[in-house]
Amino acid sequence: MAYYSVLAVTPTSEGWVSDYLGPANRLVAQYGGKYLARTSSHEQLEGEAQGSTLRIVIEWPSREAAVNFMQDAEYAPYLKARTEGSNSFHFLIAGKDYLT
């Protein structure tokens, strides 16, 4: 079953971004992930305002692939830089409709 990472990221500093992109792109691909969206072009249609600069959607082949990516020792310093240099929220969503 596919899983989806849905992130809302607002950088609080820019220093980490250029060092982050290459390794993160490579590691996402290594774990079978595919970026579906990485954009600042988004709008909130419902609920209390939740501002964020970037919205990111990654499709994973499995939950295990997503978790292994997040726990990869090579990714750890980049994850640390992102979380220290931004306000980030990351949701992992199963690609299944449990209401049918």
Burial of 72 per CB tally in 10 Å (0-12, 13-18, 19+)? middle
Q: How confident is the model at residue 13 (pLDDT cuts 50, 70, 90)?
A: very high
Question: What pLDDT score was predicted for residue 1?
Answer: 94
Helix (H) or strand (E) holding 56: strand 54-60
End-to-end Cα spacing for the chain? 16
Overall size of the chain counted in residues: 100
pTM (2 d.p.):
0.92
CA 39 to chain centre: 11
Q: How confident is the model at residue 88 (pLDDT cuts 50, 70, 90)?
A: very high
* Between residues 51 and 90, the one the model is more confident about: 90
List, for residues 22-52, the tens digit of each pLDDT value: 999 999 999 999 999 999 998 888 998 887 7
Give me the residue label for tokens 């607002």: 10
